[in-house]
Structure 1
């Protein structure tokens, strides 16, 4: 199995692909419906994962430059493959982000949380949100 990751410059077609991938998937929406998936991603890096020449997944990296550190967020990820994407692709993403001081993932998916914890990630905060009714 040959896995490759290729950067693709952000285009409106990528925005449509991102929005389509997450449309109707409330269980994957960590914003609680407050953000469209592609709403703020034009400043991020879009990367496609290929297995044996076929596209199987993609992810978006968003850098966060702090006063003395660089944190890279895996802002979005989506894919389907006949292998465990977390087990096979996460180490490649971590290598790609090797210059960063930390890698951050925000998710509300319990299965992904378990896999990330097994890979050494830990919870550092809890997001509490109270939606306001519109008048």
Structure 2
């Protein structure tokens, strides 16, 4: 069940993470959560491709937002594990699109999967599996 929609998630990011909120656009909230990263020069590595840390950040934010969409504003939910596979070079000059889905949402842990594409691309450029720790309710 969705408890935070796209406008609520945007407002949460702006309030809690203003340093990066403008880089991400929440495009869809449902069974999958779709997030766009607005790629700029600061995200590129030598050779003109998007850096690995940038793709990790997109995957991490996408799962975090998927957790929040279902639990509400739990600012202290944190990443406890991430495994990311870089599958192919992202296309230069294109935004990245992440499609995140939760595989398990328990009381203490959330486990999710993210596929990342270059905008307009037909094959994913990265795949990540993440686990989030959910703080106890007070």
Normalised TM-score (structure 1): 0.32
Highest relative contact order (Cα 8 Å, sep 6+), 1 or 2? 2
TM-score, structure 2 normalization: 0.32
- More strand per residue: 2
